[in-house]
Amino acid sequence: MLIIGPPGSGKGTQAGRISERLGIVAISTGDIFRANVKQRTPLGIEAKTYLDSGDFVPDSVTNNMVRERLAEPDVAGGFLLDGYPRTSAQVEELDAILAAGSTGLDIVLQLTADHEELVRRLLSRAAEEGRTDDNEKVVRRRLDLYERETSAVVREYAARGILVAVDGLGAIDEVTDRVMAAMSRVVGGRG
CB 126 within 8 Å of CB 134: yes
| 40 catalytic residue (yes or no) | no
85 appears as a binding residue in the annotation: yes
12 appears as a binding residue in the annotation: yes
Which residue out of 67, 131, 141, 178 is catalytically annotated?
131
79 appears as a binding residue in the annotation: no
142 appears as a binding residue in the annotation: yes
Which residue out of 17, 48, 69, 86 is catalytically annotated?
86
| 142 catalytic residue (yes or no) | yes
8 appears as a binding residue in the annotation: yes
57 appears as a binding residue in the annotation: yes
10 appears as a binding residue in the annotation: yes
Alpha-carbon radius of gyration of the chain:
16
CB 149 within 8 Å of CB 86: yes
| 131 catalytic residue (yes or no) | yes
55 appears as a binding residue in the annotation: yes
Instruction: Kindly report the backbone phi and psi dihedral angles of residue 134, in degrees, each rounded to the nearest multiple of 5, phi listed first.
Output: -125, 60
78 appears as a binding residue in the annotation: no
| 155 catalytic residue (yes or no) | no
Annotated binding-site positions for AMP: 29, 34, 55-57, 83-86, 90, 131, 142
Q: What are the catalytic residues? A: 11, 86, 125, 131, 142
Annotated binding-site positions: 8-13, 29, 34, 55-57, 83-86, 90, 125, 131, 142, 170
Annotated binding-site positions for ATP: 8-13, 125, 170
